[in-house]
Amino acid sequence: MKLNRSPIERSTSRAWIPIAVLAGMLAVTAAVAFYVQQSAKVNDRVRFERSAQEISNAIDGQVGTCTALLRSAAGLFAASKSVEPDEFQRFVAHLDLPRHYPGVQGIGFSVRLQPNQKDQLVATMRRAGNSNFKIWPEGERSEYHAIVYLEPPDRRNRAALGYDMFTESPGDRRGQAGRLSDLRAGLSKRSSDR
């Protein structure tokens, strides 16, 4: 048995060590890269879900606010046989929309009319001080839903008085509701895909 090996023999017998170290380091690098990628995905998903929940909560809060305002206005009309324009104006002024309900442009009231009641409403509104009141857009319909009160009386709200809110066809409203539903479904799907 030969105890003394030549340097060439010794280096050949250890040639596998650098390859094993390289393979081991590549495996560790691949494992760390996979872990970092998975952690980033999880963090992105958590961040997305948190943002989506915050947006959903904000929307729910705004819908709740609008619902509360509508209920308060309904209470005003339920408590009185006839709400006069000055009463409605005081009611909305007392709400102090800009301070307590930022983002709410105004609160209004519309009346449902049959075609034969149109001229009577126009005359009544003009006698009450709205000299330019008209139901618009023009056209014959089976019924009208004209805005008669809209407070506060800024330029945009004054311009909307008389607008027939049912000039949009039911198909238009269904289309808008469908687009909103599609948007919600798309957001929900994106959230579940991550």
The whole-number pLDDT of residue 17 equals 87
Chosen domain end from 33, 56, 79: 79
Owning domain of residue 66: 1-79
CB-neighbour burial class of residue 113 (10 A; exposed 0-12, middle 13-18, buried 19+)? buried
Same structural domain for residues 2 and 52?
yes
Give the C-alpha separation, 16 to 100, whole Å. Answer: 76
What digits encode the pLDDT tens for the residues 121-173? 999 999 988 999 999 999 999 999 999 999 999 999 999 999 999 887 665 55
Confirm whether 174 is domain-assigned.
Answer: no
How many domains does the chain contain in total? 2
What pLDDT does 183 receive? 58
- In this predicted structure, the answer to whether residue 6 has a pLDDT above a threshold of 80 is no
Domain co-membership, 125 together with 63: no
DSSP state of 81: S
Whether residue 107 sits in one domain with residue 73: no
> Taking the model in full, what pTM does it have?
0.63
